[in-house]
Chains A and B, each alone.
Chain A
């Protein structure tokens, strides 16, 4: 399978990438690691006429301690998130979730910013950063703005990111010793989750997000509200699908996904408590 023909430009900075996309318009797409976009292009489900390669913007690949949060450059690869000692110390849930993305070869190429920009509800990192209350910094022709993860995901593969904006940084609050757990239920190695759960808990505070339980990653706010009001984990987990809109597919019916969500949220919160 070979993608439809396209033109190609390589940007050496975020500003250059944004200038290029402004020049080429809606048919241009940004290429980072390419591990979400290229499979779609090979199936001709995406046929951009211009690819703007942002994969060499090396100053967008970093993991820095920024006080209350860790700042992660958007082009940081999954393998670098997975193996970061700083993340292992301060945001271990994210480092662990990154180790579940695809396989080693995919993690050598795929980037955290690319995964988030792709906004796939079945991907691990959009839901995980949502659970952690992350903020995404995006840059466009009119400068930079910050978008809370909770406001970012609008629909299936749709986000608040405009076509002429790129994500430059992901800011993830430090977990400060909170308990955490990541559940990924799938049938085969390297598959996407049929249902996944990213969760953390510190006393009455918690964050729970669901993978593949709707057209976007889902923040299970009803679960966290129940925990805050003193509900048991088992009772809170009964609300796992209250904020979700699961769809049926080849792998699972709506009922099966709903059941899995409750079981996996219970397991994740038990392990986090």
Chain B
């Protein structure tokens, strides 16, 4: 966690307001259980980025349209800008940081790399997490099913062709082992 003067970025920019309701939550993120105090209005994406320092998950549109903030809640892709941290209390969260294990990338990350499935990279964490969730639900999708399945993720480099290629390549390479 990034800490300056003992305060996280969020604590510096959003100091708790006196009298606000504070809720204790216990969330397992990437296999580690965190006991945290949050305001009920804290969004899950801000919780993982600013309280836990896991900045791989991006904020894009902040209106549940673009999918840049996609992570897994109990193994399924969700848009973490539209989930409250308190809704993840007692649940399992996995972010893009969970995918690499001992220096070895997840097969979906490898597929994105090999198929030039990213350009500027901003949408990539969300794309990868959404793609893994898609293959968990449908291990052998058609190209149309991949395009429809990723309708909730926008790439403003418009690099969709290679993103779809990456997902299809990952699907045909091997069954995805799923998020950790």
Contact = CB atoms under 8 A, between A and B. Distances in A.
Chain A bound to chain B? yes
Interface of A: 1-8, 10, 31, 34-35, 38-39, 41-42, 51, 53, 55, 79, 102-106, 108-109, 189-190
A220 to B, nearest CB: 28
Given A39-B82, A103-B152, A109-B83, A7 B77 contact: no
B41 A5 contact: yes
A97 to B, nearest CB: 15
Given A7-B21, A190-B151, A105 B78 contact: yes
Interface stretch (B29-37, B57-65, B110-118, B168-176): B57-65
B109 interface: no
A53 B86 contact: yes
Contacts of B137: 104
State the 7 A-B residue pairs at the shortest beta-carbon distance, nearest first.
Answer: A103-B152, A8-B40, A189-B151, A7-B21, A3-B41, A108-B76, A105-B79
B41 A2 contact: yes
Q: Which of B43, B73, B81, B87 has the most CB of A within 10 A?
A: B87
A51 B83 contact: no
B133 interface: yes
Q: Which of B63, B64, B83 has the most CB of A within 10 A?
A: B64
B84 interface: yes
B134 interface: yes
A36 to B, nearest CB: 10
Interface residues of B, number: 37
**Which DSSP category, helix, strand, loop or mixed, fits chain B's interface?**
mixed
Given A105-B152, A106-B79, A5 B86 contact: no
B64 A108 contact: no
A186 to B, nearest CB: 11
A8 B86 contact: yes
Interface string B22-60: 010000000000000001110100100000000000000
B128 to A, nearest CB: 13
Contacts of B67: 103, 105
A104 B40 contact: no
A6 B41 contact: yes
Given A5-B17, A39-B63, A105 B43 contact: no
B20 interface: yes
Nearest to B151: A189
A149 B160 CA distance: 40
B149 interface: yes
23 contacts: A2-B43, A2-B46, A6-B21, A31-B84, A34-B87, A38-B82, A38-B84, A39-B82, A41-B41, A42-B62, A42-B63, A103-B151, A103-B152, A104-B130, A105-B67, A105-B70, A105-B77, A105-B130, A106-B64, A108-B133, A109-B73, A109-B79, A109-B83
Contact of A108 (B17, B40, B77, B151): B77
Given A105-B77, A106-B79, A190-B65, A6 B40 contact: yes
Contacts of B70: 105
